[in-house]
């Protein structure tokens, strides 16, 4: 995935495609089709503007169809979050493929991928981190979050020559996550230009990675 270099080129607008095939779905891919329809609507309208009937219309199925796979509208939105987080983890791992082990460049790549997720899937990002999941007692969400943060902790431990996830690894991992999480929201909301103009994202992420990992 290509990394953006300047903040003015970062802000993107996710627009759903014109529509899904209207021929309906076989039983095996009905669930996937509804999740994709829900994701597109979340990107277009946000989670508050999404309705089950809208998703059914976009997917080309009856309004009774979702209840073969989902308990509620909330369950459909959770499925979108879980699939989004799975894509995010895959992209994080892919961003490390050609970077040598124990290099701060790997931490920078993870930070860049976090920002990319916020800007390329703003609806899903806001769905995950905008409060929707906070009140949900869903073990799948907790596990997905731990798996994502676990990638950061693994890389921090390698950079610090630690053989396990120590308290120090967690402390520095949390510092890194806090920075890119806050930065992602600032860029997601297009606020950076109001706070000081252009920032070289590549340099910024590299600088933070090196500072946090320094002995």
pLDDT in tens, 149-206: 999 999 999 999 999 999 999 999 999 999 999 999 888 776 655 555 566 888 999 9
Q: Using CA atoms, how far apart are residues 42 and 83, in angstroms rounded to an integer?
A: 13
- The DSSP output letter for 2 is P
| More confident position, 147 or 133 | 147
| Count of Cβ atoms closer than 10 Å to residue 12 Cβ | 12
Alpha-carbon 146 to chain mean position: 13
Domains of the chain: 14-70 (1.10.10.60), 80-215 (1.10.357.10)
The partner residues of 6 in beta bridges, in order of sequence, read: 200
pLDDT in tens, 32-45: 999 999 999 999 98
- Please name the residue that has the structure tokens 């997917």: 59
């Amino acid at each position: 995935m290509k990394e953006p270099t300047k903040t003015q080129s970062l802000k993107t607008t996710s627009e759903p495609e014109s529509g899904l095939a209207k021929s309906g779905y076989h039983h095996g891919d009905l669930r996937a089709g509804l999740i994709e329809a829900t994701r597109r609507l979340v990107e277009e309208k946000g989670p508050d503007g999404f309705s089950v009937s809208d998703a059914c219309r976009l997917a080309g199925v009856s309004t009774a169809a979702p209840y073969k796979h989902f308990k509620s509208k909330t369950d459909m939105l959770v499925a979108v979050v879980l699939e989004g987080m799975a894509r995010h983890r895959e992209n994080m791992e892919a961003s490390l493929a050609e970077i040598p082990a124990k290099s701060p460049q790997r931490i920078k790549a993870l930070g860049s991928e976090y920002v990319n997720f916020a800007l390329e899937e703003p609806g899903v990002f806001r769905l995950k981190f905008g409060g929707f999941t906070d009140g949900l007692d869903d073990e799948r969400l907790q596990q997905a979050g731990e798996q994502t943060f676990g990638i950061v902790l693994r890389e921090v431990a390698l950079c610090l020559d630690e053989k396990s996830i120590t308290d120090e690894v967690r402390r520095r991992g949390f510092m890194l996550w806090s920075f890119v999480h806050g930065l992602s929201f600032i860029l997601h909301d297009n606020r950076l230009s109001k706070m000081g103009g252009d920032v070289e994202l590549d340099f910024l992420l590299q600088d933070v990675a090196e500072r946090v990992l320094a002995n």
